Amino acid sequence: MSGSPLPLHVAVALDGAGWHPAAWREPGARPDQLFSARYWTDLVRTAERGLLDLVTIEDALGLQSGDHLAEPERRTDRLQGRLDAELIAAFVAPLTSRIGLVPTVTTTHTEPFHVASALATLDHDSRGRAGWRVQTSVRPDEAAHFGRRTIAGLRRDELDTPAAKALVAELFGEATDAIEVVRRLWDSWEDDAEIRDVTSGRFLDRAKLHHVDFVGEQFSVRGPSIVPRPPQGQPLVVSLGHGDEPYRLAARGGDVLFVTPHDAHEARGIVGRVREIEGETAREEPLRILADLVVLLADTDDEARERLERLDAIDPVSSDAAVLATTPSALADLLVSWQEAGLDGYRLRPAVLPTDLDRIVDGLVPELQRRGAFRTVYAEPTLRERFGLPRPVSRYATAGSPA
């Protein structure tokens, strides 16, 4: 690769005891603290110490399963249960200062008005560091928790059937509408709607609150929001994609897209396809594209492979993303080399928490810094600015009638 590499975006995905199913059994794991505020605060503070762009926090509306399409597992040797991701972000926010906080919130059974309010609150709470990881749900057991609709579910051997494609189109269409509703609600208060003038007794300028008047197949939302406009105007919207339908979702409503290439050639093809879809949607600002990788790190390649083999002997890992057992230095070389495929950065999934997160922060980050490929200080105060995204003006700033 000629010249110095461009600075990479590096995020981490936090999930339970880590992304390997046997992670909770590791000596360095803390299974007795998984449902404590201290555990999550320690993880996020470690990521912030490493100057990482953001943390995503996994969530779902059903118990964990080795296959996200499947019913919850009845086996008792795997971690089960989780805390609410948005609430984790909320209690971590005042205990951190710079790192982005991006909880997963599912659109399929969650009202966009609630999502908009919660994430706008998180953005105020964190002073401009909030994001939203959009996720859909195809599992029948999760639908049964709410009783509002029936979802037949998907099997991997039926993904190419007309029924499966229709269900995917329905759920991603709903998610696209949900993002649009949430974004409108974030804009429904103009930035200067609050007057707070004690002398005149006026707290609010009602002419600067606006109805959003969204009507779609799944939602009919009038607005305005109950939460004043977020500090970022629009908190960062991110999603994970494995094909054209989720790529379109991101192109229509997202800011950052996570993808799962297994080599540089595949990464180049994915980036090319995403850019084609962006062109079809007439998108102006290009998506920031980050590759997901599951990582196990050690001082030598042999030690890293031995770690993976030991964990796999207990409960083999299966992942949509590439699984890399290597050294921080070798991983840094790979991350820099894959940039040529058009990637903007990476979301790393630590195999074991906190062990592999510590090795990302204390091993990988210095290696990237030595290559000129990663920041040495947080420069931008908000998450949008960190990704080079401007703070948008409210779409209703010149609108007419008050709420």
Amino acid identity, position 357: L
Stretch 222-250: mean pLDDT, rounded?
97
Strand segments, DSSP code E, in 224-283 are: 236-240, 256-259
CB 298 within 8 A of CB 327: yes
pLDDT number for residue 2: 47
Q: What SS3 class is residue 264?
A: helix
CB 353 within 8 A of CB 20: no
Quickly list DSSP for 71-122: PPP--SSS------HHHHHHHHGGG-SSSEEEEEEESTTS-HHHHHHHHHHH
Locus of tokens 């118990």:
63
Residue 80 has pLDDT above 50, yes or no: yes
pLDDT, tens digit (0-9, with 9 covering 90-100), for 38-57: 999 999 999 999 999 999 99
Q: What SS3 class is residue 17?
A: coil
Instruction: Kindly indicate the confidence band of residue 67, based on its pLDDT and cuts at 50, 70 and 90.
Output: low
Residue 403 has pLDDT above 80, yes or no: no
**Distance (Å) of CA 361 to CA 48, 56, 206, 348:** 9, 16, 47, 11
- For residues 74 and 170, the model is more confident at 170
Strand segments, DSSP code E, in 199-344 are: 202-204, 214-215, 220-221, 236-240, 256-259, 288-297, 322-326
Of all helices (H) and strands (E), which one includes residue 349?
Answer: strand 345-350
pLDDT number for residue 310: 97
Question: What gap in Å lies between CA 232 and CA 398, rounded to an integer?
Answer: 19
Secondary structure letter of residue 284 according to DSSP: S
Q: Give the chain's radius of gyration (CA, Å).
A: 21
pLDDT number for residue 69: 59
pLDDT, tens digit (0-9, with 9 covering 90-100), for 282-297: 898 999 999 999 999 9
What is the pTM (predicted TM-score) of this model? 0.95
Stretch 9-34: mean pLDDT, rounded?
96
| Token pair for 369 | 């810094």
Task: Pick the range with the lowest mean pLDDT from 3-12, 87-96, 216-225.
Answer: 3-12
pLDDT number for residue 1: 43
Question: What gap in Å lies between CA 263 and CA 273, rounded to an integer?
Answer: 16
Exposed, middle or buried, 74 (CB in 10 Å: 0-12/13-18/19+)? exposed
Per-residue exposure over 240-279, b if at least 16 CB sit within 10 Å of its own CB, e if not: bbeeebbbbbbbbbbbbbbbbbeebebbbebbeebbebbe
Domains in the chain: ranges and CATH: 9-386 (3.20.20.30)
Question: In this structure, what is the dihedral angle of CA atoms 71, 77, 79, 81, given to the nearest 10 degrees?
Answer: 60
pLDDT number for residue 4: 60
Give the β-pairing of 220-221 and 100-106.
unpaired
| Token pair for 358 | 């510590």
CB 297 within 8 A of CB 360: yes
CB 140 within 8 A of CB 71: yes
Mean pLDDT of the chain: 93
Stretch 301-325: mean pLDDT, rounded?
97
